[in-house]
Structure 1
Amino acid sequence: MILASKSPRRKEILEDMGFNLKIEGAEIEEISDEKELTLKIMDIARKKTFSIAEKHPTEYVVGADTIVEVDGEIIGKPKNREEAFKTLKLLSGRKHNVITAYSFINISKNIDITNYNISEVFFRELDENMIKWYIETGEPMDKAGSYGIQGKGAAFVKKINGDFFSVMGFPIGDFIAKLNEVGISLEEIKNI
């Protein structure tokens, strides 16, 4: 299977489940004309996946996109340390949504699945020293919402309502359920 992403977290989640992956990052402009947030993120995830599936029509291709949403605003990856600080200050002591959409395509088998997962994440109150310490680790710089739940960012999380793996970058349980719906069993995973 081809993973249309260079995300080490997605790679880890899928390989831990038994998938044999080839990595081919999708180089697309991550924009969508969709108005509704979930439709927008599903559209972007599908575009990423389809851009790779077009090049490999007989291969299974999976791709995903994750965003953080707070007060209706999309919080992407920070451009710099100042933006990471501002984002973490915004998330401090409150709830935000993490939305991960994924797409699974095999053109030759006429498989084209796109779905999403929303999880609520509640942050503890963060003081400026905690935020500065975290930014100094470098961890927030390549992550939506400026934190990684699977790393040092876990210290900020009070609780989650939803799917930990979706917050990490890929809702593996939902994905496996969708594969079962199209007739791909857990035993077959290592072969796709």
Structure 2
Amino acid sequence: MKFILVSASRRRIEYLKGFGFIFEVKKVRLNEVIVEGNAVSTAIKNAYLKACSAHKSAPLLPVVGMDTVVEVDGKILGKPKNRKENLEMLHMLKGKAHRVITGIACLKKDFIMIDYETSIVEFRSDIEEDFFLRYVQTGEGLDKAGGYAVQGLASAFINKITGPVDNVIGIPVLKIYKIINAICEV
């Protein structure tokens, strides 16, 4: 089951290859959209826009787009634009539970499959400012929704995860597998 993955994320590419998926990678530049007050719609819309951007060039293969966002206190967090914004995001998450939503869109010919995965992540409340500053200086969180990478150094911030951990990484692999299998049967 070969497909096209629309992503610039090295971790998504490596993770999916690790599971033996066969795919081509298309990178696109997309101004991500925020649907105010609706994190699920935001993740799905951006995933769909990514998939659409590559669909015309390969209409016979399934094209998969994904987008991950973080929602805390009703605010939707994408990727921080700089270190200052990264630090602000981490402060918003400190001591709180937040949702991590990954939208998935798969297109093949005239068929569209859209789904999403949700996980709840609880940050520790005892993280000191200096620790956040050290993390931000690594740059690890700059290209991650919510400004942190659960699979990296930011694992120290996590108190608890409810739901798929791979979704927090931005790759809900079982959901992706099911969607690709279903659309390949079309």
TM-score, normalised with respect to structure 2: 0.90
**CA pair 86-34 structure 1, distance change in 2 beyond 3 A:** closer
Q: Tell me whether 1:152 sits opposite 2:161 in the alignment.
A: no
| Structure 1 unaligned blocks of 5 or more | 185-192
Which residue identity does 2:161 align to in structure 1?
I
**Any idea what the Cα deviations from partners look like across 1:129-172, whole Å, max 9, x if unmatched?**
11011112110111111100111111111110111111101111
**CA pair 37-25 structure 1, distance change in 2 beyond 3 A:** same
Number of residue pairs matched by the alignment: 182
Q: Is the 8 A contact 2:39 2:70 kept in 1?
A: no
Equivalent residue, structure 2, for 1:123? 123
User: What secondary structure, in the 3-state scheme, does the structure 1 residue paired with 2:57 have?
Assistant: coil
Write out the 4+ residue segments of structure 1 that deviate beyond 4 Å after TM superposition: 32-35
Q: Tell me whether 1:169 sits opposite 2:170 in the alignment.
A: yes
Equivalent of 2:78, from 64, 68, 76?
76
User: What secondary structure, in the 3-state scheme, does the structure 1 residue paired with 2:84 have?
Assistant: helix
User: What secondary structure, in the 3-state scheme, does the structure 2 residue paired with 1:79 have?
Assistant: coil
Equivalent residue, structure 1, for 2:90? 88
Shift of 1:37: 3.0
Shift of 1:2: 1.5
**CA pair 32-127 structure 1, distance change in 2 beyond 3 A:** closer
Equivalent of 2:49, from 19, 42, 47?
47
**Any idea what the Cα deviations from partners look like across 1:23-55, whole Å, max 9, x if unmatched?**
111223322668743123212211110110112
Higher deviation after alignment, 40-49 or 157-166: 40-49
User: What secondary structure, in the 3-state scheme, does the structure 2 residue paired with 1:21 have?
Assistant: strand
User: What secondary structure, in the 3-state scheme, does the structure 2 residue paired with 1:141 have?
Assistant: coil
Equivalent residue, structure 1, for 2:11? 9
**Any idea what the Cα deviations from partners look like across 1:75-96, whole Å, max 9, x if unmatched?**
1111111111111111111111
Identity %: 37
Shift of 1:179: 3.4
Which residue identity does 1:115 align to in structure 2?
D
Instruction: Compare the two structures and name the one with the higher strand fraction.
Output: 2
Distance 2:59 2:80 in 1: 34
Higher deviation after alignment, 170-179 or 64-73: 170-179
Shift of 1:59: 1.9
**Any idea what the Cα deviations from partners look like across 1:90-132, whole Å, max 9, x if unmatched?**
111111110100111121xx43211001110001121111101
Distance 2:22 2:181 in 1: 18
Q: Is the 8 A contact 1:102 1:170 kept in 2?
A: no
**Any idea what the Cα deviations from partners look like across 1:54-85, whole Å, max 9, x if unmatched?**
12112221110000100110111111111111
Distance 2:22 2:182 in 1: 21
Equivalent residue, structure 2, for 1:190? none
User: What secondary structure, in the 3-state scheme, does the structure 2 residue paired with 1:31 have?
Assistant: coil
Q: Tell me whether 1:57 sits opposite 2:59 in the alignment.
A: yes
Q: Is the 8 A contact 2:62 2:183 kept in 1?
A: no
